[in-house]
Structures are given as structure tokens and as C-alpha cells.
Amino acid sequence: MKTNTTTGDGFNIEINGTVGTPFTDNAKMGSRNCDVFYADKQAIFDINLDIGKHEIIAMIGPSGCGKSTYLRVLNRMNDTIPICRVTGEHTLDDEDIYAKKMDPVLLRARVGMVFQKPNPFPKSIYDNVAYGARLHGLASNRSELDDLVEASLIKAGLFKEVKDDLQKSGTGLSGGQQQRLCIARAIAVDPEVILMDEPTSALDPIATALIEELMDELRQNYTIAIVTHSMQQAARVSQRTAYFHMGKLVEVNATDKVFTNPEHQLTENYITGRFG
């Protein structure tokens, strides 16, 4: 296995497995011995992690540490990259999500995703939210669909702002509104897990605060995994925090423990700003 390259003080420390508590009793999703390769290059090394029911788990780490790649393992988004190869066992409610009989389309309906850059379709707000429901035939008539769209927008905290403009283009909204539209779109198909890949990195602090509030409410119904570059955000929204480093999972612990009393030296170096 290739060893780490040095880019700063306290960066080049050996990692021997994950410290902390990567496993939980009430796991919604879980990975065992997860390796990810891009062609011949290994991006993720032997990750073992559980994501508990109704928890928000934050994944932090320096750029290129593999946290986004790992997130995309969980809804098989990496399938769209031909050179990407995923190994190990990955489960959703004890079902193997990489099994032959697992349909990736169904999996992605159960494990929704919100991306870094707000990416509404160039369609109306209504059609954006209704897209997933139409795709999977969730509403049998127009009024059911109307209700679903309204409920999703309310859950995403966007309904008040757009209720009179549902037929306007989703791309005409502000950045923060667009991201909440994307969240509404994701929860309209009623997923069990929502994966968020740096959902607020393109937003201003006010929009960020709105979305963080929203996440806290969503936790009642959904399990959320969020990748973030903002340690404050991880501290604010999550119950558990996972620290990734050079494709390895270094430490998983309760969030307040990670930020006050990290177990691993690398974690401490990262959160105290020695590198990253």
C-alpha cells in the first residue's frame, strides 16, 4: 500500500484502522471493507462504517480524502463512472445494495442525494419537485401530485416563498432557494436516507443557516449523511462525525467528542487547523 505524502506538519502520520465508534446497533446503512478504485488508482482504503437511523452523520476531511467518493458509494452514483470499481459489503436495512438483484433505480429512490452545486432542472418549480414522483408513478392523479409537491416544498421550507410562482422556472431562484428546491425534489420521492454532498458550500451564511435548520427538522423522518468542508457546520448539525484522511477513515465519534477531545492525532491536527 502506498504511504502518505507530506504536505504539511502533522499530515504524515500512520493510520492503523479506524479509531472511535464506527459501528452502531441501529444501523440504517453500513459498509464493510469498502475499497474504491478509479481505474488502477485506489481512492478509498478499507472503510468500515455504520450510519444510524435518524442520525445526521458528518463526513469531514481535507480535499481529495475520499469522503465524496464514499458518499456516492452509498447510492451507487459511482455506477455512472465507467472506470470506477467498488468492492466490499454495503447494506441498506441489511440488504446488500451491490447485489445483483438490487435495482440501482430503486436504490436511488430510497437513498436520495443533494449535490454541492444547486442543480435544478431547467423546468418549472412544480415540475422540478414533481419529477421524481412522476418518474416512479407515486401520484395517481393531478390533485395527489399537487399535494405531494406542496408537502415537499413545505418540508423544505420553500413553500411560502414560491407558492405563487410554482410555474416559474426553478433556475430563476436564488442560490439558497435553488438548493432548498433540490432538497424538496429529493424528499418528494420519500427516501429513507438523504446524502448531502457539501450542500451549502455555494451559499451565503443566511441561506446556509436556513438549510442547517431544515436538516435538523428532516432528521425526524430521514437518515442524513452530509459531507462538509465547514467544521462549524459539522459541529452544529451532526450527531456523529467521521474524519477521512487520504482515502482512509481515521476516526468516528460523537460530534462533541471529535471537536473537543479527538482520539486520533490526525483528527486533532485537522480540526485545530494545522493543515487542510
Partner 1 sequence: MSETTKKIQQGLKKRYAREKRFRFFGLLSILISFTFLLVLLTTISSKGLPAFQQTYIKLDVLLDEDVLGVNKTSEHQALFAANYGKVIKNSLKTMFPNVKGRKQKRALKNLVSKSAAYDLRDEVIKNPDLLGTTRSFWFLAKDDIDMFMKGKIDRNVPEADRRIKDYQLLWIEQLMTEERLEKRFNTVLFSAGDSREPEQAGLKGAVMGSLFTMLVTFFLSFPIAVAAAAYLEEFAPQNNRWVDMIEININNLAAVPSIVFGLLGLAVYISFFGIPRSTPLIGGLVLALMSLPTIIIASRAAIKSVPSSIKEAAVGLGASPIQVLFQHTLPLAMPGILTGTIIGMAQALGETAPLLMIGMVAFVAEVPSGVMDPSTVMPVQIYLWSDSPERAFTERTSAAIMVLLGFLVLMNLFAIMLRKKFERHW
- In this structure, what are the phi and psi dihedrals at residue 193, rounded to the nearest 5 degrees? -125, 140
Strand partners, 197: 227
Query: Cα separations (Å) of 128 from 157, 164, 166, 174, 181?
Result: 15, 15, 10, 15, 8
How many binding residues for partner 1 (CB under 8 A)? Answer: 28
Among 13, 83, 99, 154, binds partner 1 (CB under 8 A): 83
Shortest approach of partner 1 to residue 1 CB, angstroms?
A: 26
CA 212 – CA 238 distance, rounded (Å): 10
CB 109 within 8 A of CB 136: yes
If one asks whether residue 182 binds partner 1 (CB under 8 A), the answer comes out as yes
State the burial class of residue 32 (Cβ atoms within 10 Å of its Cβ: 0-12, 13-18, 19+). Answer: middle
Among 131, 139, 146, 202, binds partner 1 (CB under 8 A): 131
Among 4, 171, 230, 239, binds partner 1 (CB under 8 A): 171
Among 136, 219, 257, 274, binds partner 1 (CB under 8 A): 136
Q: Which is nearer to partner 1, 13 or 99 (CB)?
A: 99
If one asks whether residue 112 binds partner 1 (CB under 8 A), the answer comes out as yes
**Helix, strand and coil percent figures for the chain, each rounded to 5:** 35, 25, 40
If one asks whether residue 185 binds partner 1 (CB under 8 A), the answer comes out as yes
DSSP collapsed to 3 states, 216-228: HHHCCCCEEEEEC
Written as nine digits, the cell of 70 is: 464514499
Written as nine digits, the cell of 234 is: 459539522
Shortest approach of partner 1 to residue 179 CB, angstroms?
A: 12
If one asks whether residue 169 binds partner 1 (CB under 8 A), the answer comes out as yes
If one asks whether residue 18 binds partner 1 (CB under 8 A), the answer comes out as no
Residues 63-82 that bind partner 1 (CB under 8 A): 75, 77, 80, 82
CB 93 within 8 A of CB 28: yes
CA 195 – CA 68 distance, rounded (Å): 10
If one asks whether residue 168 binds partner 1 (CB under 8 A), the answer comes out as no
Q: Which is nearer to partner 1, 211 or 258 (CB)?
A: 211
Binding segment for partner 1 among 27-35, 115-123, 142-150, 224-232 (CB under 8 A)?
115-123
Among 13, 99, 105, 154, binds partner 1 (CB under 8 A): 105
If one asks whether residue 181 binds partner 1 (CB under 8 A), the answer comes out as no
Residues engaged in binding partner 1 (CB under 8 A): 75, 77, 80, 82-83, 105-109, 112-113, 115, 117, 119-122, 131-132, 135-136, 169, 171, 182, 185-186, 189
